[in-house]
Structure 1
Amino acid sequence: MQDGIGSRNASNFRKAAAREKILIISPQAPEFDKQAGWARLHRMVEILARHYEVFFLAENFHELYSRWRKDKYTRSLTEAGAKLFLHDYDLRQILRNHRFKLAILEFFDTVERNLRVIREVQPFLNVVYDAVDVGFLREQTWADLAGTQEARTRALQTKEAELAVCRSVEAVFTVTPLDRDVLLNEESELSIEVIPTIHTVECQHDGEMRPDKSTLLFVGGFKHLPNVDAVKYFCSEILPLVVRKRPALKVLIAGASPPEDVAALASKNVKILGHVPDLKHLLRSSDISIAPLRFGAGMKGKIGEALAYGLPVVTTSIGVQGLALRNGEDIFIADSPQEFAQCIDTLLSDAELRERLRQNGIAFIKRTCIPAVVEDKLIRFIEERTGELRSKRQCNLEKERLDLNFDVFQRHQLAADLINRTRADDQEFTILDIGGHGILQQFLIQDFVVTVDNERYRLIEDFVFGNGMRLPFKGKAFDYAVSFDVLEHIPSERREAFLNEMERVSRDGIILAAPFEAPLISEAENFVNEFYKGLHGNENPWLIEHIANRLPSLEQARSRLEALGFHVSVLPNGYLPRWVTMMGLTVFLERFPAGTDILKRLNRLYNSSCYAADNREPCYRRIVVATRQDLSLNPSDIYAEFEPQSAEDFTRVFEALAQLKMLDSLEKTSAELSAVRQELRDVALVKGLARFPLRVYRKLKREIFRR
C-alpha cells in the first residue's frame, strides 16, 4: 500500500457516499501545527471530505482567527472541501435543513453541550464521541503521580462524566487499543473503533546515518499539562545526569504557549523555541526525540511524528501507552531519571543502534498510522457498521425515552402501544402528529412520522408548518392522525373542524389524547395552577389556557367521531392522584439548579416503574381511539387491571402537595434566619473588638499595681 491519502478499498465507497453528509462539531478549528490532536482532526476532515459532504462546526474562534477566514486554519478546512461554520451558527437550523449520515463530536464536553439538540432535531442520527484521549485515564495517572485527594476526586468526577457520554452515543473513537480496552473494562457494551494519529513518512533516505550532533528535541503544546510536567521533570532530574558526560549537549524545546516556569528553564544547554509552525527542519536535524511523560493518555503525537521522520525516541511507559512498540528495537523506554539518561547516552554513542530504531520506527508508522491505512479504517467503519450503529441507536432511544417528562411519556407511550397492536408483522405506518414536538418518532422507530404545527420555526426533523383546522395534505395521506393534549387549547367553536380534518387525512384511524371536562379534572388543574402561582407568582400558562377555552366534552368528541364513521374506544391515561403529585414535584423541583437532576431521576423512576399502572380511573386524560374497523378496546386489553385506590389516597396527594408548599415556606424562612444569624455574628464580632482595648487596659492596670 502506498503512503498517501486514498486507498483502493476506501475508494470503492465514494460513488455511493458522494451525496451523504457528515457533521463534525469541535470546540474550535484545528490548529494542526500546534497539537497532535488537532493535526489528527485536520487530516480526518481531509479524508472524510474526499467521500462525503463535511459540515465542520467550530464552537469558538481559534487564536489566529481572521474575520475574512484567510488564516491558515480556516483556509485549510475550506480548501479540503468542508463547509465551515464558526461560533455564531444555529445548530438546530443546520440539523433542520440537512440530513446527516453521521455526527462526530470532539471531546466529551462537546458531546454534553450538543447532544440534546441533536437528539431533539434528528433523533435517529448516529453520534460518535471522538475521545482523542481518555480524559479520566490521563487524570488518574496524574492523581497517582500527585498523590492528592483533590486530584483523585477530580479524576473520579471526570470518569463519571466521560462514561456517561460514552453510554449516550452510538460509538466512540479512541486513538490506541489501550484507551479502547480501558473504556470496555468500564462499559463492555460500548462500540469502539481505534482511529490513531495520522502521520506521513517524511524520511526517504533509507540507510543514511545521522551525524552525532548531540541534539535532543522535545515537541509539545504547553496548554497540555502533561507536556509542562515532562519538560520540568526532564530539566530538573534527567538533564543534569546527561550533561555530566556530555556538557555540550543541546536540548531544543518546541511548543506553543510555554508558561513562565517553562520559559525560565532556558540555559546554555536548553533553548525554549516556543511555537514552531514547521517542525521539519528540527525533526531532520536532531539526533533523538525525547518524551519524558509521567502522566497522560492516548497516542502521543510527538512520538508518532518523530518515528515518521526516522528520529529515534526515548520515552516512558506513559509515552508508549497502547502502542505495540518494542523496547530496544523500535523505541527506548525508561521510567527513572537514571535509566532515561542512560538510554540517551547509549543512543548517542551507537550510530548502528540509532539506525535500527530509525528503520523499525518508520516500519511501525507505515503499518499503523499513514493516511491510507487510517482512511481505510475510517471509511469502512462508517459504511460497514451502519447496521450495528442503527441497533445501538434504537437501544439508546429506548433509554432516552425514560428521561422524558412523565406527562409527555405516558401519553406518547400509550399511543405507541395502541398503534403497535394494530401492526401486522413488520408493517410500517405513516403517521401525522398534529401539534406535536417530534417526540412520537422516538416511540415509533420503524414508522414515518410527520409533525405539523403552527409554530413556523419549530426546528425538528420532518416538520411541516400548518394549521390543524386546514391541514396542508391530501385526503387519506396518512395511516393514522394523532394529537396529544392539543384539543383543549383550541377554542370550543373550532374543535369540530379540527376533528373533521383529522378524519380527512387518515386512512385507518385517529388517536386523540386530552383532558376532558369533569369536576375532578378541573379541581386537580386548579390546584396545580394555584400551587404554581404560589411558587412563581403567576399562573401556569398552559393550564390558564385550559380554563380560558374550557376543557372539551368527551361526549361531543365521541359523537362527532362516530358520526364520521369511526368505531370509538376510550381509554384512561394518567392516574389522577399520581398525576397531581408528579406535577407538583415537577413545578417545585424546577425552581432549583440541583432539582433538575432529581427531577430527571424521578421521571425515569415513574416512566420505568409506574406508567403501566397509571392507565386507570380516576385519570387526568383520556385516549380516544377512533378506527375504521371495530377494535373494541378496553384497558384490560392493554394492561392488567389494578385494584382501584380509595378516595383517601386522593386526599393524601393534596395533603402531600400542601406539605411541599410548607417546605417552600420553611426554606424561605430558613434563608431569612440564616441572614439574621449572620447579622448577629457580625454584631458579636464588633462588640468583641470594642471590648478588646478595655481588656488590654485592665491587664496593664493589674501589672502596674503589682509593681
Structure 2
Amino acid sequence: MTMIPVLEHWISDELLTMPFDQYQRYRVSAEAIFLLKQAAAASDQRWRILDVGGFFPPRNGVLPLQAFFPNDETLVVDTTDYEGVGYQQADGTQLPFDDQSFDIVLSCDTLEHIPLEGRNSFLAELRRVASRAVFLAAPHALANVATSEAMLRDYLGQLNMHNSMLNEHVQYGLPQSTLVEAWLQSEQLDYLAFESGYLPHWQLLMVLKHLLFRQHQRDAMHANFDALYNQRFYAYDQRGPGYRRIYLIATAGQLDVRLQTLVERSLRATPTDPASDLLSMVLPILTSTAYDTVLYQQTLDQKLLDLKAEHGLQIEKLDWLINVQRFDQDIADLQAEHRDLQRRLLDASVLAAQLEAEKRGVQAQLDQLNWQHTTLQQQFAASPIERLSRGLSRLLKGIRR
C-alpha cells in the first residue's frame, strides 16, 4: 500500500487549531491532491484549485483552502456576500467559468445543502470546470449517520441550542450514495469512494464542541480542544463507519492505482489504540455528564436570575420608601413654608391696623389744623369794629356765665 505522507505544513499550529470537522475534510483533500500530483509527476507544479461552497469566516484573512494549499492557485466560490482575496460569489449549479478552467475542483460538505432537484446539475458543473479530478466530500445517508445527527439535534434542543447546518440536512435530506454513484456511472466516470471521520468520535466531539460554546473564553478552549484532536486522532479517524463519504472522481481517463491507498486506509478495522478505544467507551457517559452539567448551569443561572429579581424588588421597595420619605419631607417643608406665610400675613395685618390707626390720628390732626386755619382766616378777614363787637359779645357771654 502506498504511504500517505504527512507534510509538515499540515501539522502546523495554524492549521491544527482549525475546527476538527473542517480540518478533517481539508486535510484528506490535501492528501488526495498530493497523491494526484505524484501520479501525474507534477509534485512541483502550481495547480489551479477551485473550492465550491468552501466559504468560512477567514482567520487572519485566509480561507481554509488557502491555508492548506499555499503553493497553489486557489479560488473559493460560495453564495455568501463577502469581499476578499481568493473569493468570488457564485452559484455552484451555474459556475461562471469556462470548461476545464481548474485542475482540481473541491466541494466539501456542500452537496447536502443543495435541494435534491439541483444536485445532478451541481455535480455536472463540478465536472465541467475540472480538467483532472473532482474531490467531493459530504455526509451521506450512511448507516447510523442520520441517527447520530438526530441524537445531536435532540441534545442541542434540550440545551436550547440549534445548528442551522444540521437543520438543512433534514430540510433537503442527506445525499444518497446510490444516487451519486448512479450519476457517476451514467457519465462513465472513474472514481474511488471511501469514508472519513470515524462516526462515534464525530458524534462525541460535536457534543463537546457545542458544550464549549457555553463556556467563558471559549475561543481559546476551542482552539486547544481542536489542536489536541487534530494532532493525535486525525489518522485514527480516517476509517469507517464514517460521518462523511468522499468521492475522488477522474474527469478524464482513469485514476492512478496509487490512489487506492485512500480506500484501503478507510477499510481498516476499528483502531485498538487504548486512547481511541477509551473515547468510544466514554461517549455515553460524557454525553450524559455534559447534559447534566448544562442542566446544573441552567439551574444556577435561574437561581441567579431569581436573586436578581428579588434584589430588584427590594431595590424597588427601598426606592419607594425613599420616595415616600422624600414626599413626607416635601410636605413638611411646604407646611413650614405655609406657617411662615401665615405668620408673615398676621404680622402684615397687625402692621396694616397700626398704619390705619396712625392714618386716622394724622387725619384728625389735619382736620384740627384745617379748622384752626379756617378760623384764623375768618378772624383776619373781619373789620376791627366787627372783631371788637364779637370780642365784647364773647366777654359778655363769659360774664353771664
Which TM-score band (shorter chain)? 0.5 to 0.7
Partner of 1:422, secondary structure, is: helix
Partner of 2:249, secondary structure, is: strand
Cα RMSD (Å) of the superposition?
Answer: 3.0
Tell me if structure 1 keeps the 8 A contact 2:239–2:267: no
Which residue, 661, 665, 674 being the options, matches 2:291?
Answer: 661
Which residue, 184, 188, 202 being the options, matches 1:561?
Answer: 184
User: Which residue of structure 2 lines up, in the alignment, with residue 419 of structure 1?
Assistant: 33
Tell me if structure 2 keeps the 8 A contact 1:480–1:509: yes
Change (3 A) 1:670 1:594: same
CA drift of 1:396 comes to: 10
Tell me if structure 2 keeps the 8 A contact 1:571–1:634: no
Instruction: Give the paired residue count.
Output: 286
Q: How does 1:357-436 map to 2 (within 5 A)?
A: 398-423=12-37, 424-436=42-54
Tell me if structure 1 keeps the 8 A contact 2:79–2:91: yes
* CA distance, structure 2, for counterparts of residue 500 and residue 626 of structure 1: 12
Tell me if structure 2 keeps the 8 A contact 1:572–1:635: no
Structure with higher RCO (Cα < 8 A, 6+ apart): 2
The structure with more radius of gyration = 2
Tell me if structure 2 keeps the 8 A contact 1:617–1:644: no
Q: Which amino acid aligns with 2:53?
A: G
Q: How does 1:518-667 map to 2 (within 5 A)?
A: 518-535=142-159, 537-627=160-250, 628=252, 629-632=254-257, 633-635=260-262, 641=268, 643-644=270-271, 652-667=282-297
* CA distance, structure 1, for counterparts of residue 147 and residue 249 of structure 2: 28
Which residue, 123, 129, 134 being the options, matches 1:505?
Answer: 129
User: Which residue of structure 1 lines up, in the alignment, with residue 86 of structure 2?
Assistant: 462
* CA distance, structure 2, for counterparts of residue 465 and residue 565 of structure 1: 31
CA drift of 1:595 comes to: 2.8
Structure 1 residues without counterparts, runs of 5 or longer: 1-393, 684-707
Q: How does 1:194-273 map to 2 (within 5 A)?
A: none
Q: Which amino acid aligns with 1:507?
A: S
User: Which residue of structure 1 lines up, in the alignment, with residue 334 of structure 2?
Assistant: none
Tell me if structure 1 keeps the 8 A contact 2:34–2:43: no
The structure that is helix-richer by fraction is 2
* CA distance, structure 2, for counterparts of residue 614 and residue 499 of structure 1: 27
C-alpha deviations, 1:207-237, integer Å up to 9, x for none? xxxxxxxxxxxxxxxxxxxxxxxxxxxxxxx
* CA distance, structure 2, for counterparts of residue 636 and residue 557 of structure 1: 17
1:443 aligns with 2:68: yes
Identical residues among aligned pairs (%): 28
CA drift of 1:637 comes to: 5.2
Change (3 A) 1:579 1:522: same
Structure 2 residues without counterparts, runs of 5 or longer: 1-7, 56-62, 315-401
CA drift of 1:559 comes to: 2.2
C-alpha deviations, 1:492-543, integer Å up to 9, x for none? 11100101111111111110000001340011111111222222x2532110
Change (3 A) 1:643 1:522: closer
Q: How does 1:272-283 map to 2 (within 5 A)?
A: none
C-alpha deviations, 1:604-638, integer Å up to 9, x for none? 00111111110111110011111132335244655
* CA distance, structure 1, for counterparts of residue 117 and residue 202 of structure 2: 29
Change (3 A) 1:672 1:656: same
CA drift of 1:428 comes to: 1.8
Change (3 A) 1:425 1:638: farther
Change (3 A) 1:674 1:540: closer
CA drift of 1:484 comes to: 0.5
* CA distance, structure 1, for counterparts of residue 97 and residue 225 of structure 2: 40
CA drift of 1:416 comes to: 0.5
* CA distance, structure 1, for counterparts of residue 115 and residue 194 of structure 2: 24
Tell me if structure 2 keeps the 8 A contact 1:469–1:501: yes
* CA distance, structure 1, for counterparts of residue 222 and residue 86 of structure 2: 30
* CA distance, structure 1, for counterparts of residue 27 and residue 127 of structure 2: 22
Tell me if structure 2 keeps the 8 A contact 1:558–1:568: no
Change (3 A) 1:399 1:527: same
* CA distance, structure 2, for counterparts of residue 579 and residue 609 of structure 1: 14
Q: Which amino acid aligns with 1:577?
A: P
Q: Which amino acid aligns with 1:472?
A: P
Tell me if structure 2 keeps the 8 A contact 1:469–1:497: yes
CA drift of 1:444 comes to: 1.4
User: Which residue of structure 2 lines up, in the alignment, with residue 453 of structure 1?
Assistant: 78
Partner of 1:518, secondary structure, is: coil
C-alpha deviations, 1:360-387, integer Å up to 9, x for none? xxxxxxxxxxxxxxxxxxxxxxxxxxxx
